[in-house]
Chain A
Amino acid sequence: MTAPAAPANPGMVTLTIEGREVIVPPGTNLIEAAKTAGVLIPHYCYHPSLPVAGVCRMCLVEVEKFPKLTPACATTVGEGQIVHVHSAKAREARKGVLEFLLINHPLDCPICDQAGECELQDYTFAEGRKDSRYMEPKRFNPMEDFGGDVLYVPNRCILCTRCVRFMDVVAKESVLNVSERGDRAYIGKFEGADLTHAWASNVVDLCPVGALLSKDFLNKARAWELDRAASICPSCSQGCNVMLETRDNVVVRIRPRPNASVNQHFACDVGRLNYRWINRRDRLEYPQVRSSQGLVTTSWSEAVKAAASAITAAARVTVLVSPALSNEALYLLGRIASHVSATAVMTIARGPEAPLPGVKDLSLRAERAPNHTGAELFGFTDVISPTAGLGSNDLLIVADAAASVSAVPDGVRVIVIGTVLDDMLKGATIVALPVCNFAEEDGTFMNLRGRVQRFQQSKAPPAQVRPTYRVFGEVAAAIGAGSYPALASDVFATIVATVPAFAGMTYRTLGLQGAPATLPAGAAV
């Protein structure tokens, strides 16, 4: 061992990767250090959220003064190191690994779900051999249902063991293992165990190849046909960052988007699979107003006018909101409610809590709504029976919260502002205003820890459906509760200007990772 050189940057390690100077904290591995210089060191088994295994041998790089090639995942940075990622020696080694990985691989990219987002495909295209020297019969193992939403195709498996390590170390429920040895090895399940853990589907994302597939997404779309938008999972109050993936304006898959402060690289099975409602076809598509012929389609301006006059004329108003609405929508609804001294309520759906033990403060939360924290901040209280005690004097505004209403008491008039017009509400409805669901508009949610996070529009709304914040803004203006801008970012700016918890935020500074709100002491966090 040579004496350590005096660091060029105290407290940090300075080294050279592919001719670029990199300054990183001590203990960083070469893959992460290279990322900061914009250099991708090809790898399979390494994953930032999993312990290092060092088995795929794909990330072998040349470090000057090292006797052999070294795995970048298992090598920590050293002061003054000079690392060559794309030297002839390193490229040759990777070419060898790629050839080995492919000899028993079925090369069935045309029918593989992973094609287009497959690291084996990408790296082979980038630096693999153009032909194969393998002339022997290929190893064959049958497909296996791993339980949950996971299907295992062993012939495509490169045995990187990411899935095994995820279940062992992050989910802390050992279900998977490496069975057998040598080239007979495959990922096996322990006797009687299944991938039924609430977070098990993460192994599908972690799999760098097409060996672990989602049964739900199987044969549904090719990766290159998908459009993607950054979003927030609406299934609970954790606020996992996700990517909504659409094909022809239909959401076909929800996948986690990394956020070290919230969900690392993970999303639970409930969140992933809860997307079909976003694509419902029985939407409320046009504004409707009750007339002598029943509910009839009308123009937006007529409908808003009708809603406003009903609200101002009502003796008592109850605003029932969904805790899945954005901060922008809830803020405006709060203004409407306070302007007419309405009762502001919501109901929060609940389910069993399901933590991911390996990640601090990450869980499928009992509160199955993305923004109940925001709703509480804007003055909405969680009640068990929002329609109890309502009578013929009452006007009930149901803001996309049909699920909270079991029955409308006699004589109550209802204004529905929502994505669908529920049959149960239909009889009492006097005005129905169609709005976007969260996938069709921009907005922010506040998770249970008070983190404000943006979601972006990922699909177009149907027919005359308008964004929630715009509709609520127009209704608020029509009843004289102030005037509001028509863009989500501008509504957010209004919130920032008036609600201290949001002080200093803008859509731009929130970016794709969000920021914690300054919640008053005793707030529901």
Chain B
Amino acid sequence: MGYPHPSHSRETPVISKYFGDPEARTLAGWQKRGGYEVLKQALSTDPVEVQNVVKDSGLRGRGGAGFPTGVKWSFMKPDGKTHYLCINGDESEPGTFKDRELMRWTPHQLVEGAAVAAHAIYAETAYIYIRGEYTEPIARVSEAIREAYAAGILGANAMGSGKRVDVHVHKGAGAYICGEETALMNSLEGRRGNPRIKPPFPAVAGLFAQPTTINNVETVCAAIHVLRNGADWYKSLSSPTNPKSTGTKLFSVCGNVARPGNYEVGMGFPMKDFLWELCGGPPAGRAFKAIIPGGSSVPILTPEECEAAVMDYEGIQAAGSLLGSGGVICFDDSQDMVRQIARLARFYAHESCAQCTQCREGTAWTTKILERIRDGQGTMKDLDTLLEIADNMTGKTICVLSDSCATPVVSGLKKFRHEFEAKIPKNRSSVMIPSLSTAAA
């Protein structure tokens, strides 16, 4: 649903069906809408069966990487160890705000999804990690958990099943990197939010060194609909041409666009229709210049590249970018791409956890060069240097923050090189350093 706009007829609202409906926030309202039926049934079902339904549905992680959810759950075996579920509600990717709305409007959907997922991975405890700036979502989810405990839905005997399910909210402190799964676990444990080296993978030794599964908010919300209506129903929501991307996806649209907001469409939706019909195209009198389709970490697309693209994992990849978190950022022709890319780089330089050399130094250096070019102090050589730095920053670090900083730089330089060149004073071979030039004079 295109909250705050009325739902468009071509949308497929499943997880976003109750956006804007305050009654759905309450336990009574959620139960009236069929809430917690899936949990009740799941708790009496063998976790392997739950895993299999989700596996069959083709549901993939909605946080960005797109790993098949059922397969991830099936890594967790009943081995007698304490298992943990982490729900990633850190949602710190610039341009992404789908989880925020899910948590604001349907907190019980998340609590139910978390409880179902916990059961599916033989865990009794789920932690919902929500970024600190999300004060309203934190309040809504906390209230939902309180209601659920009071109603016996959570606790030592969840819904009378005899099974224990505990769900806790953990408030992040606002670091982007804490959305990285292992950094999130460090943060939950009370440590500095630094990503961990893998292996060991979380499924082997995650939170508190126990087997852990981590899922995005949207993923577990979608999972309960899969379990309620079946895998085949879920697959029927998306374009039949691509069986690898199934179900619906919630896209957050922001930037220079007529109707920003969240839109839930079936996978495989044509991007052109999405941008023009659903989102209303660029602001009046403007034209699109660039689209970032999946949060700030993915390659920038030109409007031409978006023309024929379809919105699913493979479709956006074919167009030269990634589905990522589903945060669609639109730029119109009034935007200075150098300024925008420099701003993105500054974000990553600010958020680098400082562990890996390439990221710590590379993000900051990239930012300094970009800002110098933006301020008219660049040289042609800087453009080559930027690409070489980006190459040194890609695929060499513990997590992908470094790669994420390099991505918009590389794609931006490839697609908007003329804008960079236009900022560079003609025939300049070296940087003008004011103190030196005055000294020479």
* Interfacial residues, chain A to chain B (CB-CB below 8 A): 52-58, 60, 68-69, 71, 74, 93, 96-97, 99-101, 103-104, 133-136, 139, 158-159, 161, 177-178, 180-185
CA A52 to CA B197, docked complex, whole Å: 9
Residues of A within 8 A of B396 (CB): 57, 60, 68-69, 93, 96-97
Query: Does B149 sit at the interface, judged by CB under 8 A?
Result: no
CA A93 to CA B356, docked complex, whole Å: 13
Task: Out of A52, A69, A101, A134, name the residue touching B357 (CB < 8 Å).
Answer: A101
Are A180 and B431 in contact, CB atoms less than 8 angstroms apart?
no
Are A183 and B360 in contact, CB atoms less than 8 angstroms apart?
yes
Shortest Cβ distance from B173 into chain A, in angstroms? 12
CB-defined A-B contacts under 8 Å, sample of 12: A55-B398, A68-B396, A69-B396, A97-B357, A136-B365, A139-B364, A159-B354, A159-B357, A161-B355, A178-B192, A182-B352, A183-B349
Sorted from nearest, which 6 A-B pairs have the closest CB atoms?
A96-B392, A185-B354, A183-B364, A100-B361, A54-B197, A136-B368
- Within B321-380, the residues touching A (CB, 8 Å) are 349-358, 360-365, 368-369, 372
Query: Does B385 sit at the interface, judged by CB under 8 A?
Result: yes
- Within B266-321, the residues touching A (CB, 8 Å) are none
Are A100 and B357 in contact, CB atoms less than 8 angstroms apart?
yes
Shortest Cβ distance from B414 into chain A, in angstroms? 20
Are B351 and A182 in contact, CB atoms less than 8 angstroms apart?
yes
Are A55 and B365 in contact, CB atoms less than 8 angstroms apart?
no
Are B365 and A181 in contact, CB atoms less than 8 angstroms apart?
no
Residues of A within 8 A of B355 (CB): 53, 55, 159, 161
Task: Out of A52, A97, A182, name the residue touching B354 (CB < 8 Å).
Answer: A182
CA A58 to CA B358, docked complex, whole Å: 10
Are A103 and B365 in contact, CB atoms less than 8 angstroms apart?
yes
Are A159 and B385 in contact, CB atoms less than 8 angstroms apart?
no
CA A480 to CA B257, docked complex, whole Å: 107
Task: Out of B192, B358, B360, B372, name the residue touching A96 (CB < 8 Å).
Answer: B358
Shortest Cβ distance from B54 into chain A, in angstroms? 23
Residues of A within 8 A of B7 (CB): none
Residues of B within 8 A of A103 (CB): 361, 365
Are B197 and A97 in contact, CB atoms less than 8 angstroms apart?
no
CA A161 to CA B353, docked complex, whole Å: 13
Smallest CB gap from A101: residue in B: B357
Query: Does B395 sit at the interface, judged by CB under 8 A?
Result: yes
Residues of B within 8 A of A60 (CB): 396
Smallest CB gap from B382: residue in A: A135
* Interfacial residues, chain B to chain A (CB-CB below 8 A): 175, 192, 197, 349-358, 360-365, 368-369, 372, 385, 391-392, 395-398, 431
CA A167 to CA B63, docked complex, whole Å: 36
CA A69 to CA B394, docked complex, whole Å: 11
CA A96 to CA B402, docked complex, whole Å: 13
Interface of B is mostly: helix
CA A100 to CA B351, docked complex, whole Å: 17
Smallest CB gap from B360: residue in A: A183
CA A239 to CA B372, docked complex, whole Å: 58
Known contacts A68-B395, A97-B392, A100-B358; can you find 8 more A-B pairs with CB under 8 A? A53-B355, A54-B197, A55-B357, A69-B395, A103-B361, A104-B361, A182-B363, A183-B364
Smallest CB gap from B391: residue in A: A96
Are B369 and A101 in contact, CB atoms less than 8 angstroms apart?
no
Residues of B within 8 A of A55 (CB): 355-357, 398
Are A178 and B354 in contact, CB atoms less than 8 angstroms apart?
yes
Smallest CB gap from A98: residue in B: B357
Contact A58 B357, CB 8 Å, known A68-B396, A181-B351, A181-B352: yes
Are A99 and B354 in contact, CB atoms less than 8 angstroms apart?
no
CA A489 to CA B73, docked complex, whole Å: 67
Are A57 and B353 in contact, CB atoms less than 8 angstroms apart?
no
| Residue among B349, B360, B363 with max Cβ neighbours from chain A (10 Å) | B360
Shortest Cβ distance from A141 into chain B, in angstroms? 13
CA A57 to CA B399, docked complex, whole Å: 12
Smallest CB gap from A178: residue in B: B354
CA A115 to CA B60, docked complex, whole Å: 53
Smallest CB gap from A60: residue in B: B396
CA A180 to CA B350, docked complex, whole Å: 10
Residues of B within 8 A of A57 (CB): 356-358, 396-397
Smallest CB gap from B371: residue in A: A136
Shortest Cβ distance from B290 into chain A, in angstroms? 26
CA A134 to CA B365, docked complex, whole Å: 8
CA A237 to CA B431, docked complex, whole Å: 62
CA A5 to CA B268, docked complex, whole Å: 42
Are B363 and A74 in contact, CB atoms less than 8 angstroms apart?
no
| Residue among B350, B361, B392 with max Cβ neighbours from chain A (10 Å) | B361
CA A161 to CA B192, docked complex, whole Å: 13
Smallest CB gap from B353: residue in A: A181
| Residue among A53, A97, A181 with max Cβ neighbours from chain B (10 Å) | A181
Are A136 and B357 in contact, CB atoms less than 8 angstroms apart?
no
CA A89 to CA B208, docked complex, whole Å: 36
Residues of A within 8 A of B351 (CB): 181-182
Shortest Cβ distance from A265 into chain B, in angstroms? 22
Shortest Cβ distance from A365 into chain B, in angstroms? 35
Smallest CB gap from A105: residue in B: B361
Shortest Cβ distance from B85 into chain A, in angstroms? 25
| Residue among A55, A58, A104, A182 with max Cβ neighbours from chain B (10 Å) | A182
Smallest CB gap from B433: residue in A: A135
Are B385 and A56 in contact, CB atoms less than 8 angstroms apart?
no
Smallest CB gap from A44: residue in B: B357
Are B431 and A97 in contact, CB atoms less than 8 angstroms apart?
no
Residues of B within 8 A of A100 (CB): 357-358, 360-362, 365, 392
Are B365 and A182 in contact, CB atoms less than 8 angstroms apart?
no
CA A13 to CA B369, docked complex, whole Å: 47
Residues of B within 8 A of A185 (CB): 354, 360
CA A97 to CA B365, docked complex, whole Å: 13
Shortest Cβ distance from B56 into chain A, in angstroms? 24
Shortest Cβ distance from A121 into chain B, in angstroms? 16
Residues of A within 8 A of B354 (CB): 159, 178, 180-185
Residues of B within 8 A of A136 (CB): 365, 368-369, 372
Residues of A within 8 A of B363 (CB): 182-183
Are A182 and B360 in contact, CB atoms less than 8 angstroms apart?
yes
Smallest CB gap from B192: residue in A: A178
CA A56 to CA B197, docked complex, whole Å: 12
CA A180 to CA B360, docked complex, whole Å: 11
CA A99 to CA B363, docked complex, whole Å: 13
CA A180 to CA B363, docked complex, whole Å: 15
Shortest Cβ distance from A101 into chain B, in angstroms? 6
Smallest CB gap from B349: residue in A: A182
Smallest CB gap from A71: residue in B: B197
Are A182 and B192 in contact, CB atoms less than 8 angstroms apart?
no
CA A53 to CA B195, docked complex, whole Å: 11
| Residue among A134, A135, A161 with max Cβ neighbours from chain B (10 Å) | A135
Contact A101 B197, CB 8 Å, known A159-B354, A181-B354: no
CA A417 to CA B242, docked complex, whole Å: 93
Shortest Cβ distance from B100 into chain A, in angstroms? 24
Residues of A within 8 A of B356 (CB): 55-57
Shortest Cβ distance from A323 into chain B, in angstroms? 46
Are B361 and A101 in contact, CB atoms less than 8 angstroms apart?
yes
CA A74 to CA B349, docked complex, whole Å: 25
Smallest CB gap from A133: residue in B: B385
Residues of B within 8 A of A133 (CB): 385
CA A56 to CA B359, docked complex, whole Å: 10
Shortest Cβ distance from B92 into chain A, in angstroms? 13
Smallest CB gap from B394: residue in A: A68
| Residue among B350, B354, B362 with max Cβ neighbours from chain A (10 Å) | B354
Residues of A within 8 A of B361 (CB): 100-101, 103-104, 183
